[in-house]
Amino acid sequence: MSLFRTELRRLSKRRFTRYMTLLGLLVLAAVVVGVFFTNQKIDAGQLAQAERQADQQYQEQVRWSEQERAACQQAKTAGTATDGRYPDDCSVISPPPREEIKAEWFLPSTFDFKETFDETLIPFAAILALVGFVIGASFVGAEWSTGGMMNLLLWRPKRLTVLLTKLAALLTGILAVTLPAAVLWFAGFWAVANFRGSTEKMTSGVWQSFMLTGVRGVALVLVLTTIGFALASLGRHTAMALGGVVAVMVVGQFGLGILLSMAGVRFAEAWLLPTYALAWMTKTVKLEDWNACNATYFGECKPATMEITWQQSSVLLSVGVVVILGAALWVMRRRDIS
Amino acid sequence: MPAVLEIEGLRKTYKSRRRGTRNALDGFDMRVDAGQVHGFLGPNGSGKTTTLRTLLGLIRPDGGRMTLLGHEVPDALPTVAGQVGAIVESPQFFPHFTARDTLSLLAGAGEVPATRVDEVLELVGLRDRSGERVKTYSLGMKQRLAVASALLKNPKLLILDEPANGLDPGGIREMRTLMRTLAESGMTVVLSSHILGEIQLICDSVTIISLGRRVAFGPVDEVLAQHSSGAVRIRLEAVSDLPVATEALTQAGIRVTGHPDHLMLAGVDKPASVTRLLAEKNLYVSELAPIAVDLESVFLELTATAPVPGQHRQVDESTKVGGTGQPGPAGGGWGA
Ligand SMILES: Nc1ncnc2c1ncn2[C@@H]1O[C@H](COP(=O)(O)OP(=O)(O)OP(=O)(O)O)[C@@H](O)[C@H]1O
Ligand SMILES: [Mg+2]
């Protein structure tokens, strides 16, 4: 217990921890403020005007398609070559249905809590996961590279206990930042919706779904923190973890992405890690393959799809954590410290 | 006296895929009795730091037995760690913390009362600078901090690997007094150092290691006595008598080196026999001085590391016990 408290104290004393946390929170605040200023509340007058504008556009479309159809028929009867400008059957030229033209198009953006709050949890989790990763990596990486770990092991020779206690302290610290930040995030966007949008139609089911997304976001933050910690401990250096991730992301993922798309592999995104992080947050990600055709009854061509679910992501995340942390612990047990 | 530290047949082999294996410790033995200040000496790369690291559980040995305070280590390390304070080869500290923070975090991890931090800061002379970041410290100040961290536990056994490294003359003398005081209070101190004058002054006993094996051990005066070559300097009343004396002594089987105004004798068991021998020839000795050997020359002789003019001795060129007397570059080296 004393070791745990000491490690918490060490974590909070680190200037890097403080600055990174501050930076992360500032970015989050900036997002909230930005959304606040780019959204507006819509009153009845604005709504009516938007309807009128939509109507207007519909009329234009109707007029235009009639003109075109007339021109098409004229060309046909005259027998002039049209270079494929018009279809063979002039009757297919028709205006879009009225309901396809939406009034929202003519409205300034507004923040509908029920519709959009979900999506804001993705940048929230992403930013804090990044902060957690870097802090986790630096927390143990700097200990290794400055010899602090060796000093500590002279006091506490049980290596696994030391490493796991450090991890526990780190996760506690990250959680202590993430949870209040999440509460503030909810409150902040509730306020944004209140003043710059609407908070209507919030049922307890919606609340529950938001809560669950929030919990998944926090879990993602903790997972990435753990991975950063484990990688830096494996490499005994902060830079190892950061470099490793840059290498994986840039060479592994970016390069892999290019390679897969060149090779024409179906659902190339299914091989990329960010897809799974996204699926974890949004529950499902639907990948589409436009090179395949699933014909519908209406003769339309639908792309082949593949769904990646949060369950699949959870398997990937757990396996990742177990493998990387397991390796870090195994190496910690065995290696010579000098 | 009970042994506080005991090592038997310790072996540590470093393996490198490219360069083969290196036996850093090759059946090393050591014993330190309670309440002593024990010097741990050896040329560079002879395995001192490796021994101490192994003892403290930082690296795993390939063979041998070790006990600390009567407990088998590394298995019992968790039980004895609280009673063993150590610094291993100028330890590094997290550079952005102050000395006080560094020590108080260690105290927290080791469940030592926080008041002890101020005590040790005072003891090593860092009291007034303890609020500054370690990054800004000089080498000697870092070394003092390291000693402070080892003393923090108020250990029964204190292991210091080159604690005098970087200390100023005053600091070295202070360290010497500190060691003595600690030993008098019942603490056992193991000290590795290359400053042999220092060791000779403060240590009760020594262990000398060369190429991973012990070459000498025991109380300092015994080690000195065993390896003093029985050198004696004599002067006679009349300088003109020196050649006669040389002849007489050589006949008695004593090695003599002539000098303009005195003779150096080697291999003399009892200086009195020299006086008697010369008196019988009516030669009267005006001065007879057994030459005291110092630890440094014994060390150089035992480890065969005395510099030879015109040669550059390489590390690992030192005495190999149980092997060839003077190892070539390959002896105990990579590829062994
Ligand atoms: N991590 C390592 N990998 C390979 N060889 C090592 C390693 N650490 C030490 N050695 C080798 O082990 C031998 C003993 O080294 P050690 O550090 O114990 O010497 P030392 O007696 O402390 O020397 P010094 O007086 O210079 O401090 C040396 O030959 C060294 O090269
Ligand atoms: Mg050393």
Element holding A55 (H helix, E strand): helix A44-78
Kindly compute the dihedral angle of the four CA atoms of residues B327, B328, B333, B334, in this order, to the nearest 10 degrees: -150
Q: What percent of chain A has pLDDT over 70?
A: 95
Is A2's CB within 8 Å of B108's CB?
Answer: yes
> For ligand 1, atom 24, which residue shows the shortest CA distance?
B44
Residues of chain B neighbouring A10 (CB-CB closer than 8 A): 105
Q: Which of B13, B48, B106, B151 to mutate to test the interface with A (most CBs of A within 10 A)?
A: B106
**CATH assignment of B232-290, given 1.10.357, 3.40.50, 3.30.70, 2.40.50?**
3.30.70
Tell me the CA–centroid distance for residue B59 and ligand 1, in Å: 12
Residue whose C-alpha is closest to residue B187's, from B6, B334, B34, B326 = B34
In contact, A47 and A198? CB cutoff 8 Å: no
Tokens 């291993």 locate to B88
Three-class SS of chain B: CCEEEEEEEEEEEEEECCCEEEEEEEEEEEEEECCCEEEEECCCCCCHHHHHHHHCCCCCCCEEEEEECCEEECCCHHHHHHHEEEECCCCCCCCCCEHHHHHHHHHHHCCCCCHHHHHHHHHCCCHHHCCCEHHHCCHHHHHHHHHHHHHCCCCCEEEEECCCCCCCHHHHHHHHHHHHHHHHCCCEEEEECCCHHHHHHHCCEEEEEECCEEEEEEEHHHHHHHHCCCCEEEEECCHHHHHHHHHHHHHCCCEEEECCCCEEEECCCCHHHHHHHHHHCCCCEEEEEECCCCHHHHHHHHHCCCCCCCCCCCCCCCCCCCCCCCCCCCCCCCCC
Other CB atoms within 10 A of residue A258 CB: 11
As a whole number of angstroms, the distance between CA A184 and CA B36 comes to 62
Show which of residues 120-149 on chain A sit within 8 Å of chain B, judged by CB atoms: 142-143, 146-148
Give the total residue count for chain A. 338
β-strand pairing of B205-210 with B188-192 = unpaired
pLDDT-derived band at A83 (thresholds 50, 70, 90) equals: low
Q: What pLDDT, on a 0 to 100 scale, did the predictor assign at position B68?
A: 95
Enumerate residues lining ligand 1, CB below 6 A.
Answer: A 338; B 14, 22, 24, 42, 44-50
Tell me the CA–centroid distance for residue B101 and ligand 2, in Å: 27
* CA distances to A6, B201, B220 from B120, in Å: 19, 24, 30
A165 to chain B, closest Cα gap in Å: 11
As a whole number of angstroms, the distance between CA A152 and CA A174 comes to 22
Q: What pLDDT, on a 0 to 100 scale, did the predictor assign at position B332?
A: 37
Q: What pLDDT, on a 0 to 100 scale, did the predictor assign at position A294?
A: 66
CATH assignment, B3-226: 3.40.50.300
* Highest mean pLDDT pick, A130-144, A254-268, A281-295: A130-144
In contact, A106 and A53? CB cutoff 8 Å: yes
Is B94's CB within 8 Å of A142's CB?
Answer: yes
Residues of chain B neighbouring A150 (CB-CB closer than 8 A): 58, 88, 91
Amino acid identity, position A16: F
Q: What is the largest CA-CA distance in chain A?
A: 98
- The pair of structure tokens assigned to B117 is 């931090």
Residues of chain B neighbouring A14 (CB-CB closer than 8 A): 96
Beta bridge partners of B210: B213
CATH 3.40.50.300 domain range(s) in chain B = 3-226
Q: Is A264 strand, coil or helix?
A: coil
As a whole number of angstroms, the distance between CA B232 and CA B291 comes to 5
From the list B59, B84, B93, the residue facing A146 with the nearest CB is B93
* CA distances to A129, A187, B127, B274 from A174, in Å: 9, 20, 35, 82
Residues of B with CB under 8 A from a CB of A: 53, 56-60, 74, 77-78, 81-82, 84, 86, 88, 91-97, 101, 105-106, 108-111, 149, 153
> For ligand 1, atom 4, which residue shows the shortest CA distance?
B14
Q: What pLDDT, on a 0 to 100 scale, did the predictor assign at position B329?
A: 37
pLDDT-derived band at A27 (thresholds 50, 70, 90) equals: very high
Q: What pLDDT, on a 0 to 100 scale, did the predictor assign at position A81?
A: 62
Q: What is the mean pLDDT of chain A?
A: 88
Q: Report the Cα A3 to chain-centroid distance in Å.
A: 36
In contact, A174 and A132? CB cutoff 8 Å: yes
Residues of chain B neighbouring A148 (CB-CB closer than 8 A): 92-94
As a whole number of angstroms, the distance between CA B51 and CA B8 comes to 11
Residues of chain A neighbouring B95 (CB-CB closer than 8 A): 146
As a whole number of angstroms, the distance between CA A309 and CA A273 comes to 13
From the list B57, B95, B149, the residue facing A157 with the nearest CB is B57
Q: What pLDDT, on a 0 to 100 scale, did the predictor assign at position A96?
A: 80
From the list A5, A146, A158, the residue facing B78 with the nearest CB is A158
pTM, full prediction: 0.84
Rounded to an integer, the average pLDDT of A287-301 is 70
Question: What ligand has the least distance to the C-alpha of A335?
Answer: 1
Classify burial at A208, counting beta carbons within 10 Å of its beta carbon; exposed 0-12, middle 13-18, buried 19 or more: exposed
ipTM of the complex: 0.80
Ligand 1 mutation target, pool B11, B19, B49, most atoms within 8 A of CB = B49
Tokens 């970041």 locate to B133
In contact, A28 and A217? CB cutoff 8 Å: no
CATH 3.30.70 domain range(s) in chain B = 232-290
> Is pLDDT of A139 > 70?
yes
Residue whose C-alpha is closest to residue B212's, from B26, B11, B21, B14 = B26
As a whole number of angstroms, the distance between CA B336 and CA B328 comes to 11
- pLDDT per residue, tens digit, chain B (336 aa), is 688 999 999 999 998 888 788 889 999 999 999 999 999 999 999 999 999 999 999 999 999 999 999 999 889 999 999 999 999 887 789 999 999 999 999 999 999 999 999 999 998 889 999 999 999 998 888 988 999 999 999 999 999 998 888 888 888 888 888 888 888 888 999 999 898 888 888 999 999 999 999 999 999 888 887 777 677 888 888 888 888 888 888 888 888 888 888 888 877 777 788 888 888 888 888 888 877 778 888 888 888 888 888 888 888 888 888 754 444 333 333 333
Residue A313 or residue A87, greater confidence: A313
* Highest mean pLDDT pick, A37-51, A212-226, B178-192, B266-280: A212-226
B298 to chain A, closest Cα gap in Å: 31
Nearest CA in chain B to A150: B58
Q: What is the largest CA-CA distance in chain B?
A: 77
Tokens 């470099």 locate to A243
In contact, B131 and B107? CB cutoff 8 Å: no
As a whole number of angstroms, the distance between CA B219 and CA B148 comes to 28
As a whole number of angstroms, the distance between CA A34 and CA A321 comes to 34
> Is pLDDT of A39 > 70?
yes
Q: Which of B48, B71, B79, B94 to mutate to test the interface with A (most CBs of A within 10 A)?
A: B94
From the list B58, B149, B153, the residue facing A336 with the nearest CB is B58
Chain A to chain B Cβ contacts (< 8 Å) = 75
Classify burial at B261, counting beta carbons within 10 Å of its beta carbon; exposed 0-12, middle 13-18, buried 19 or more: exposed
The string of pLDDT tens digits covering residues A157-202 is 999 999 999 999 999 999 999 999 999 999 999 999 999 888 888 8
As a whole number of angstroms, the distance between CA A14 and CA A11 comes to 6
Kindly compute the dihedral angle of the four CA atoms of residues B265, B270, B274, B276, in this order, to the nearest 10 degrees: 180
Is A150's CB within 8 Å of B88's CB?
Answer: yes
Tell me the CA–centroid distance for residue B316 and ligand 1, in Å: 10
As a whole number of angstroms, the distance between CA B333 and CA B317 comes to 9
Q: Which of A138-152, A270-284, A292-306 has the lowest mean pLDDT?
A: A292-306
User: Cis ω on the peptide bond leading into residue B91 (within 30° of 0)?
Assistant: no
Using the 8-state DSSP alphabet, how is residue A107 labeled?
A: S
